[in-house]
Structure 1
Amino acid sequence: MPHRWTRQIIVTLSCVALALNGCSLRCWRLYDCPDPPAYKEDLIAKYAGRGLTIEDPVPNVCEDDFLPSVPVSPDTPVTGEVSYRNISLQEAVETALANSQVMKDLGGVLRSPAALATIYDPARVYTDGRFGEEAALSAFDASFGASAYFEQNDYGVNNVTVGQNGLFKQDYNNYQVSLQKKSVTGATFTLRNVTQYDNNNQEASFITNPFVFGQSWTNYAEAEWRQPLMQGAGVMYNRIAGPDGEPGFANGVLVARTRTDISLADFEIAVRNLVSDVENAYWDLYYAYRDLDAKVEARDNALRVWQNVQANAGQGRRTADQEGQAREQYYRFESEVINALHGRLLPRSQTNYGSSGGTFVQTGGVRVSERRLRVIMAVDVNGHELLRPEDDPPVAKVKFDWDAIALEAVARRPELRRQKWVIKQKELELLANKNFLKPQLDLVARYRLRGFGKDLWGYDQPQYDNAIQSMMDADFQEYQMGVEFDMPIGFRRGHAAVRSSELALAREKAILREQENFIMYGLSNTYGEIDRAHQVMEAQFNRREAAYAQQRAVEASHEAGFAPLDLLLEAQRRVIDANILFYQARVDYAQAIKNVHFEKGSLLEHNNIHMAEGPWPQKAYDDALRRDLNKRRALTNFVINDAWIGRKKQNEFPLEKSDKPYKSTPIFEGPAFPETSEAETLPENPLRQEASPTPSVQPASMNLPVSSDRPAVIEASSDQEVNFGDEEAASDSAIWISR
C-alpha cells in the first residue's frame, strides 16, 4: 500500500530532476582551435562539464587556417620567374564541384546568404521536423503514454452518509498506460489500462459484507476504435493532409514528398548555375590573358617605334612632335598593359541579359579574373601559381536543330520541372481542402474489461480479493458503440480554403506558362547568337589578318621614308583593336554554345555531371516499375509523368497561339547532342606566335585539391553523400546524391 511519505519523496525527486535538467540549458560551445586565446581557456576551465554540447555537422574553422596569403599588387617586388598552373575547363568544373558546399554567386554570399543553395538543402528539407517526409510519416507512428496521479481528499458535506458523519477523507491514486495508433484510413486505435487505488473513511466500507473493503483497487483494460466516415476519412486525404490536417494547411506524406522534389530541383538548378559560372569565369580568364598578350605586343611595338624616332631625331631626321607622339602612344599602351595585368574591378559575364547562361563582358584583367575563378572554384584566393587556361574556345561551326532543342528545353529544364511539382502540390492541397466541405461523422466503438478487489495482485485468492484476477476472470465486461456528428453552419472556413487553393493553383499554372514563354525567348536568343558569334569571329579573323598586312606594309614604307609616323601609329592601334575583338568573338562563340546547352537543359550532361538519389526500399522500386509500365502503354514522353492527380491535358496552356503546342510531345529520337561539322580551324597569325605572357609580378600560390588523374570526392551532410568523379574516365565529373 502506498504511503504518504513515499509519494512526497517521489514528487521531491521529480522536481529536483527537472531543475537539474533546466540547468543543463546553460551550455557553452567553444571552437576547438589549436591555440585558443587566454580568455577562452579560462571559460573552458570555468564551464568544464557544465551542460550539453552541440555536435556540428562540419568541423569548426579556425581563423588562422582561414586567412589567405597576401595578394599581389603592382608595387610587389619581383622575386623570380612567375610560375603558372595550366588548368583545363573540365578540371576547373571538377574542382569547383568537389570543393563547393555552397553554390555561390559572386557577391550573393554577403548580400543574401539565406537565399544561397548548399549541398545540405535536399537533406535538410527531407529531415525538416515540421514539413519533412519523416515528420509527415511520424503522424502515423504509435504513441505510448503513461501518467500517475496521487490525491488526498479531505472535505465535509451536509450529508451524514458521506464518510463519517459528513467528513470525508480519501487517499486516491490513478495510474494509466495507453498505446495509440493512427491508420492511413483516418482511424484511431487505442489500447488503455487504468489502475485506481481508493482508501477512504466511508462508513459503508466497514460493514461486515465480505466484498466491501476500507481500501480497494480497480483495474480495467479497454480497446477503442474511432473511424471518420466523412471528413478526415480515406487514404488519399490522410496521405495528402495527414491525420492532423486543417483547412488551408496540408502536411501529409505526398505534400512533404513534393517539397523534397522541389528542393532537389532547386539543388539541380544551383549546380547547373555553378557549372555555368565556372565556365564563364574560365573564358573570362582566357580572354584576359589574350587581351594582355595583345597589349604587351602593342606596347613593345610602340617602344620600338619610339626608340627609332629618338635615334633619328639625333640625326636631325625627325622633329620633336613626332617623338612626343611616339612616346604618348607607348605610355598609353603601358597603362593598358598594367590594367590588363592587374585588372580593374569591372563587371564580369552578366546573366539574364537575354540569355540565362550569361553574356560576355570585357573583364578587368588577369589578376582580377584569376581571383574570380579561384573564388568560384573554392580554392586559395591568392595562390603561388597563376592559373592559366589550357583549353581554347571552339572554332568549329555548330548547328542545332530548332525543333529538337525547343522540345528538349520544355522537357528538360529543371525550372519547369520544379514548377510542375509546385503545381502538383497545389493540386494535392485542393483535394485535401475539399474534404473540409463535408460534415464530421465518426463511428466510435469501445470494449472494456473491469476488475475489482481488495488488493491489486494475488494468486489463488477468493473472489474480489485482487483486481487483476477479477479482470482476468471477466467478471465485469462493458462495451460502447455510437456515432458523433459535428457540422459548422455554412462551412465558411472550408469554402475559403478551397477558393484559396483554386486561386493558388491558377497562379502557379500561369507562372508555368510564362516560364515556358521565357525559356523559348532565351532559347531563341541563344540559337541566333551562335550564328552571329561564328560569323563575327570569321570577320574579326579576316580583319586581324588585314590589320597585320597593313602594319607590315606601313612599317616597310615608313622605314623607306615614304609613310608618315601618324600612319604607322594608327596601324599599330588597328592591330591591337583587331586582336582584342577577335578574341572577344571567340569567347562569345564559346559562351553561345554553352548557353544553348544551358537553355535546353543539357548543360550538366554536356559536362558529364549526373545526379541521382540514394537507394529506396524495394517496395518503392516495385511501385515505380508498375506505374512506369502503365504510363508507357499510354504515351512515351520526355518527362516521367507525376502522380495521376490532376493531370494536365495535352493541348492545355500552349506556349503561343498556334496549332503546334510544345506540351506533351513525343520523345526526341535524335542524338543527345547536335553533330558538328568539320572543324574550320582558324590559322594562326603569321606575324607572331601566340604565347601566354610572362609578366613581371610576384609569384602567387595555389594547391588544387583535385587533379585530372583522379576523381574528386566531396563529403556532404550526414543525410546526404555527394561524389564527383567517374571510375572509367578520371577527368569526367559526376554527382551522386543519396538521402
Structure 2
Amino acid sequence: MRLISSNLTSERKRAVRRRVARALLCGVIVAVGGCRQLEKIPDGPHDHTPSYHDNVGLEIEYPQVAECATSPQLAAKSATEPLALEDPSKIPAYELSLEQAIQLAVQQSPVLRSIGGAIVSSPQSARTVYDPSVTASSVNQGTEAALSAFDAQYTQQLFWNNVDQPTNRQPFTIAGVGGGPPLVFAPFSQSQNATFTNELSKQTATGARFALRHNVLYNRTQDPSVAQLLFPSVFSGSIEAEWRQPLLQGSGTTYNRIAGPSNVPGVYNGVLIARINEDVSLADFEAAVIQLAADVEQAYWDLATAYRILDANIKGREAAQQTFQFQQVRLEVGSGRSDEEAQARSQFYQFQAQVESSLGGTAGLYALEQRLRYLIGMAASDGRLIRPTTNPTDAKVVFDWESALGQALDRRVEVRRQRFSVKRRELEVIASKLNLRPRLDFLAQYRWRGLGNHLIGDTDKSQFDNLYKTITDGDYQEGQAGFELSFPVGLRLASLAVREARLNLQRERAILDETELRVSHDLSDATRQIALTYQLLETNYNRYQADLRQVDVLRRRYRDGNDNINFLLQAQRQVVTSESEFYRSLFAYNLAIRDIHRQKGSLLAYNQVQLAEGPWAAGAAADANTVGRFLEPRLDPSAVSVPAPLTSGPFMPSAVQNTNPAISASTSGQIIGDVTQQAVAPSYATVSEADGVDPVIVEPFRNSAAREAEAFSDSP
C-alpha cells in the first residue's frame, strides 16, 4: 500500500509540472505576439514631440548673484602664467619681511586662510571675521535674541461676527411698547457681534509677568428670548491689570538669566548661556587667527629655506661643472681617464636635476612662494618673486619653564574655550536644580468694568450712555488674588534634566583636565625641540665648515694628481648636503621658537597681532556715553546684592603677560638689562625670561634688535 500511494503521488507531481510548463509557454507566446501587435499601432500626434523635462528640466543652471570687486577676486583674475624652471635671478624681486607678510595675511581678506586650502572642498568649515558677529546676531544663540524674550509684547485682535440662525420654535407676536405696533418675531435668531481685545505684557528677569488688557464687546441681537434687554445694541468691556509672580519654579534672576522664561526642563537659552556662546565664538576666531599667523610664519621660513637650498644646489652644480670641465681638458690632452670624466659628468647632471627640483618641484622655490602668496592674498603669479628679508634668529633663547607653563595653562585659547564650556555646564546644573520644584504662582488681577449704549459720547446723560464713561467712573470694580499650584507627580523630567546636567558637567571638567595635561605635554615637546634644534644648528654649522675645508684640501690634491676623483666628488656632495642641513636646522630653530610661543599662548604678541572689536553702529558710542552719565561706581560693592559674575574680567590675548620667574644664569653668563647673556659661540647670544618679561633676543654682532624685542617693548 505504501508503494502504490507513493507512485500515485509521483504521478500527480509530474502532471502539475506539465500544466505549469504549458502555462509559462503560452504566456511567453502571448507576450511576444502582443509586442508584435503593439508595433503595428501608428504613433499618436504627440509621441515624437520633445518634452520640456528632457530639454530644460534636467539642465544644470548657474546662479546669478551680485558680485563686488574685492582684493581676492581681483588677485584671482589677474594671475599670470606660473613660474616653473625660470632663472630666479632674472625675475624682479618683491622684498617682504615677516611682519609685512603677517600684516598682509590678516588684512587682505575677511576669510582666515590656511595652508591646506580647504576653502574649496569644505567652505562651511572656513573661519571668517564675520563668525563672532554671526553668533551675536543669531536668533538662536545671540545675547540679543536671549534678551528679546524679556521684551514687552503687544497683541491686538478685532473680529466681526454675524449670526443668522434658524430656531426650533413658532412665530409669536407681542404688544408694542407705549401703544405702538405689535412686534412679530420669526423663528430665527439674528445678531451682530464685534470683539476687540488688546494686551501689553512684560516678562521680567525675576520671573514675574505684568499685563495690562483692554476688552470691548459689541452685541446687537433680535433674539426674542432676550426681548427685555435695556438696549438693542450694547457695548461692554473692561480694563484689567494682572501680576503673576512665580514663587518656586521659574522664580529669581539666577534661573531666568540661565534658562530664560522657558520652563521646559533641560532647555537653557538665557542671557548667560548666549553670552557664553559669543565668547566661545570669539575663542574660535582667536584660534583661527593664531593658526593663520603660524601658517604664514611656516610658509615664510619654508620659502627662505628653499632659497638657501637652491643656492647650495647651484654651488654644488657649479663645482661639479668645474670638475667635469677640468676632467674633459685632461682627457683631451691625454692625461685623464674616461671613467673619471663620466663620473664627473654624472655628478654634474645629478646636481642639475636637484637644481631643477629645487625650482619647480612640489617642495621647490616656486611652489613654496605660491603658497606664501595665497596666505597673504596675492595673485598666484604676477611676474615678481617674493624674497624674504627678515634675518633668521641664531641666538640661543632660554625660556623659564615655570613661567612658560603658567602662561600656557592660563593663556592658551583652547583652555579658555574649554573653561567656558565648563562654566556653561555649571550654570545648567544650577538651573536644573532650581527647576526641580513645583510650579507655585501668586496671581493678582484687578479690573474696571463698563457698559454703555454707545462706545463713546455723552448724549442723554444716562448712567449707561457710553462704555468709557462707565469705566472711568469706577463704579464697577473687581479684583482677585490667589495661588496656582501645578507639578507633574514625581518630577521625572526635571530629575532627568538634573542628572543630564551633572553628567555634562563631569564630562566637560574631564575634558578640561585632559586639555591642560595635553597643553603641558605640547609645551614640553616644544621646549625640547627648541633645545634640540639649536644644538643641531651648531652641529650642522660645524659639519658644514668641516666639509668646506675637506673640499678645498681634496680639490688641491686632485689637481696635483695625488688623489682619486671619487674622494673629491663625494666631498662635493657632502658639502651640499651639510649646507642644506645647516639652513634647514637654522629655520627649524626659528619655527621651534614660534612653536613654543604658540604652545604658551603668546604667539599673537610675538607676531604683534592684536584683536579688536569692529566699528560700532552709528550713534552707539553717543548712546553709551549718555547712559554712562547716570551710572556711578559703588564704593562698597559688597553691600550690593548682585548675581555672580560670569567671567573674572577682560582678557587680551595679544598683551604681554608679566611674570616673575626665577633667574637661573650660568656661571659664565652676565645680566644685561632684562636678559641673561651666556658665553657660548661668538656669533650667538643667549637670553632668558627675567623680571616678568618674556624672552628678548639680542644680536649684538648684527647691531639690530630682533622682532622679539619689538614684540615685548612695552614690558616693564
Q: TM-score, normalised by structure 1?
A: 0.74
Distance 1:156 1:513 in 2: 78
Aligned counterpart, 1:15? none
- Mean CA deviation greater in 223-232 or 112-121: 112-121
- Cα deviations by residue, 1:221-243 (Å, 9 ceiling, x for unpaired): 11111111111111100011001
- Cα deviations by residue, 1:634-683 (Å, 9 ceiling, x for unpaired): xxxxxxxx955799xxxxxxxxxxxxxxxxxx983359998363797777
Deviation at 1:156? Answer: 3.8
Deviation at 1:622? Answer: 11
Q: Secondary structure in 2 aligned to 1:225? A: strand
Aligned counterpart, 1:462? 462
Aligned counterpart, 1:254? 272
Deviation at 1:603? Answer: 0.8
- Cα deviations by residue, 1:591-650 (Å, 9 ceiling, x for unpaired): 1111111111111112222224478957899999879988xxxxxxxxxxx955799xxx
Distance 1:607 1:229, change over 3 A: same
1:97 correspondence with 2:88: no
Distance 1:472 1:340 in 2: 94
Would you say the 8 A contact 1:146–1:178 is kept in 2? Answer: yes
- Cα deviations by residue, 1:436-458 (Å, 9 ceiling, x for unpaired): 21011111111111111111010
Distance 1:480 1:504, change over 3 A: same
Would you say the 8 A contact 2:105–2:375 is kept in 1? Answer: yes
1:188 correspondence with 2:209: yes
Aligned counterpart, 2:417? 418
Distance 1:60 1:339, change over 3 A: closer
TM alignment of 1:514-525, pairs within 5 A? 514-525=514-525
Question: Which is higher, the Rg of structure 1 or of structure 2?
Answer: 2
- Mean CA deviation greater in 616-625 or 281-290: 616-625
Distance 1:562 1:733, change over 3 A: closer
Aligned counterpart, 1:545? 545
Would you say the 8 A contact 1:396–1:677 is kept in 2? Answer: no
Distance 2:509 2:633 in 1: 29
Distance 2:342 2:391 in 1: 39
Distance 1:502 1:435 in 2: 13
- Mean CA deviation greater in 222-231 or 107-116: 107-116
Distance 2:361 2:510 in 1: 45
Alignment partner for residue 139 of structure 2, among 129, 134, 151?
129
Distance 1:537 1:628 in 2: 59
Distance 1:533 1:62 in 2: 37
Distance 1:164 1:437, change over 3 A: farther
TM alignment of 1:218-297, pairs within 5 A? 218-297=236-315
| AA in 2 matched with 1:303 | Q
Distance 1:291 1:628 in 2: 66
| AA in 2 matched with 1:324 | A
Distance 1:177 1:474, change over 3 A: same
Distance 1:262 1:79, change over 3 A: closer
TM alignment of 1:405-444, pairs within 5 A? 405-444=404-443
Distance 1:419 1:75, change over 3 A: closer
Distance 1:137 1:533, change over 3 A: same
1:308 correspondence with 2:326: yes
Deviation at 1:166? Answer: 5.6
Would you say the 8 A contact 1:89–1:279 is kept in 2? Answer: yes
Distance 1:627 1:115 in 2: 48
Deviation at 1:318? Answer: 1.3
Q: Secondary structure in 1 aligned to 2:202? A: strand
Q: TM-score, normalised by structure 2?
A: 0.76
| AA in 2 matched with 1:196 | L
Aligned counterpart, 2:158? 148
Distance 1:138 1:128 in 2: 12
- Cα deviations by residue, 1:563-586 (Å, 9 ceiling, x for unpaired): 111111111001101100000110
Distance 2:630 2:527 in 1: 42
Distance 2:629 2:338 in 1: 86
Distance 1:624 1:390, change over 3 A: farther
Distance 1:276 1:575, change over 3 A: same
Aligned counterpart, 2:65? 31
Distance 1:139 1:405, change over 3 A: same
Would you say the 8 A contact 1:397–1:676 is kept in 2? Answer: no
| AA in 2 matched with 1:93 | I
Would you say the 8 A contact 1:156–1:168 is kept in 2? Answer: yes
Question: Which runs of no fewer than 5 residues in structure 2 stay unpaired?
Answer: 1-61, 173-183, 649-656, 664-672, 685-706
Alignment partner for residue 95 of structure 2, among 71, 86, 89?
86
RMSD across aligned positions (CA): 3.4
Distance 2:628 2:407 in 1: 28
Deviation at 1:325? Answer: 0.8
Deviation at 1:81? Answer: 2.8
Aligned counterpart, 2:59? none
TM alignment of 1:677-696, pairs within 5 A? 677=677
Number of residue pairs the alignment of both structures matches = 586
- Mean CA deviation greater in 154-163 or 588-597: 154-163
Aligned counterpart, 1:564? 564
Distance 1:295 1:529, change over 3 A: same
- Mean CA deviation greater in 90-99 or 462-471: 462-471
1:668 correspondence with 2:659: yes
1:199 correspondence with 2:220: yes
| AA in 2 matched with 1:447 | Y
Q: Secondary structure in 1 aligned to 2:677? A: coil
Distance 1:625 1:464, change over 3 A: closer
Q: Secondary structure in 2 aligned to 1:244? A: coil
Distance 1:195 1:246 in 2: 34
Distance 2:276 2:438 in 1: 29
Deviation at 1:338? Answer: 0.6
Aligned counterpart, 1:42? none
Distance 1:336 1:613, change over 3 A: same
